[in-house]
Structure 1
């Protein structure tokens, strides 16, 4: 089978299209014929070694979120059948690229996968698991202090995580101030944001707000918008950015929750949550996809497709 392997740590040039042995489904696993795999900033960070827990020694396969069809079923995985459409998240923070999703086939634990409704195509489905779960779990951290939160500033609201945060926060009763890049304002308004803040504006001018979900993350500039005693959630570990104001600072690092994933995928399939694909590209163009992620300016996610 074809896979895309990081043969060293570095930029997109370290990605190589490689012929690999086709895996077999072991106990509690199914073999997934991958039809789509999302390209995340986390994949770019993995190839450069800038990830929580320290760099992974090459060679390894990037790739968290996959959608495809069950090609074979291992012992104890009979809840799925050959031909079933599935979507899931490889817990890359555990697998560290063995396996990764940049491949024609993945031997996946059944706990990583949920059924893919017929109304949702593979490419759109592959944008959901990491982004939507991160958003949902991060919002749970916002409310974990027990005090009601009325207003929240979301940075990167046009992005994968930020877009889901915006929608879930609106439905959760927050007043959402969403920071979006030029040209993304209408999309973000369509997600339900009560106020759209330009990316070129100082986030602090949007405050004071009770909470900041810093999905970019911007760092201290975004945290300056939070009121004393509020909360800031970031999507990467950062140094303390709001000392001495009683502000709670949390880091949202993804954890796989199959029940939650099934619910979120179902909501996207039903049109209750929106996602968007900027472009699809063949798996063999993974290096170019990484270059486009690094260049920025994407409106939606890049998805690598197969078959």
Structure 2
């Protein structure tokens, strides 16, 4: 089978396509998936650049990709949720491997894809959408954060144009929140189109003052993992919380544990959460912000787009051929 991989750290050009042995038959509660699409996330870019410690993932050459959509080819003997032929999406563990024509995952990491949802949309929502949903609800308890008079909570999404941020803007809006999003100047109207009530240029002078005017916020989501707690917590309303997607060193986490105004999210492979997101897309209430769909043969270009544009999602189509001349 074909896979996208890198054998050394560096720019997008280190990505290559190679051939590997197909996975063995699924065991126990595993399912074998013929992959149609896999999206590129910030984790993939950080791994390729060498920004993340090797102990967190695996050996070279490494196959990135943490979310997949496709069709079940076969199932292990104890699988109860899926059958061959089912369309599914799945969140892969830290060892990655989603940029491959076939993958094996445990059934609790997967959910059925409704007929109304394309494979590219299903792949796009899996990791980024789960992270946004779990940050807002499981960690941030958004539904419990209405004002004393029942007024909608104010939510700030920092990094609102990225994959996680673009889902977070929409998901917070579905809960009736008043959403403020920050992004680069060229992306502000795009973020507004996702449903943000207010958009602010993150590089403009006076941003802190404009954020203070827009707040105070019941929940601040650092969707890009760029900000520090001390820079965001002053924007909170009493009892509010900052939730960051940035993985923190255990020592830092221990030092923050007594605080109730800052937390981090660790994306969990909750099948029910993924199924909920896919239903929202199927019914038109949530849009998968897919900006580019690129063939596996052109995976280096896909990484370039994800790294330079920083808007929405780039999805790799493992069924398509690269365009001529690239």
TM superposition score normalised by structure 2: 0.82
Aligned to 1:272: 285
8 Å contact 1:49–1:55 — kept in the other structure?
Answer: no
Partner of 1:299: 311
1:139 equivalenced with 2:140 (yes/no): no
2:322 is matched with which residue? none
Equivalent residue, structure 2, for 1:209: 216
Deviation at 1:2, TM superposition (A): 0.7
Is 1:196 the counterpart of 2:181? The answer is no
In the alignment, which of 109, 116, 139 is matched to residue 119 of structure 1? Answer: 116
Q: How far 1:183 sits from its partner (Å)? A: 4.0
Name the counterpart of 1:176.
179
How far the C-alpha of 1:216 sits from its partner, in A, is: 1.6
Describe the superposition over 1:169-198 as per-residue Cα deviations: whole angstroms up to 9, x where unpaired. Answer: 222232211123334333322332221212
Kindly state the Cα deviation for residue 3 of structure 1 after the two structures are TM-superposed.
1.0
Indicate conservation of the 8 Å contact 1:87/1:116, yes or no. yes
Pairing 1:33–2:34 present: yes
Per-residue deviation at 1:59? 2.6
Contact 2:124 2:288 in 1 (8 A): yes
CA shift in 2, pair 1:223/1:203, >3 Å: farther
The answer to whether 1:256 aligns with 2:300 is: no
Matched with 1:234 is 244
Query: Could you report, residue by residue, the CA deviation over 1:56-106 in whole angstroms, capped at 9, with x for unpaired residues?
Result: 3323210011111112223222532222211111122xxx23xx1010111
- Mapped contact 2:245–2:264 kept (Cα < 8 A): yes
Deviations 1:150-172 (A, max 9, x none): 32211122222112211222222
Distance 1:147 1:299, change over 3 A: closer
**Structure 1 residues 247 and 110, CA gap change in structure 2 (3 angstroms):** closer
In structure 1, the residue matched to 2:3 is: 3
Distance 1:166 1:259 in 2: 21
SS at match of 2:140: helix
Cα distance change on mapping 1:222 and 1:198 into 2, 3 Å:
farther
Q: CA deviation at 1:17?
A: 1.4
* Alignment partners' CA distance in 1, 2:130 and 2:159: 16
- The separation in 2 between residues aligned to 1:258 and 1:200, in whole angstroms, is 38
Structure 1, gaps ≥5 residues long: none
Matched-pair contact (CA < 8 Å) for 1:33–1:68:
yes
Contact 1:26 1:107 in 2 (8 A): no
Taking the aligned partners of 1:200 and 1:167, their CA distance within structure 2 comes to 23
Aligned to 2:169: 166
Which of residues 219, 237, 246 in structure 1 aligns to 2:227?
219
Q: Which runs of 5+ in 2 are unaligned?
A: 148-152, 320-326
Q: What is the alpha-carbon distance in structure 1 between the residues aligned to residue 242 and residue 80 of structure 2?
A: 43
**1:132-152 per-position Cα deviation (integer Å, ceiling 9, x unaligned):** 111111113223897656322
Equivalent residue of 2:120, what SS? helix
Aligned equivalent of 1:287: 300
Whole-Å Cα distance in 1 between the matches of residues 136 and 80 of structure 2?
Answer: 34
User: What CA deviation, in whole Å up to 9, does each residue of 1:251-282 have, x standing for no partner?
Assistant: 12211111111111111111111122111111
Q: How many residues align?
A: 297
RMSD: 2.6
Distance 1:55 1:111, change over 3 A: closer
Is 1:81 aligned to residue 113 of structure 2?
no
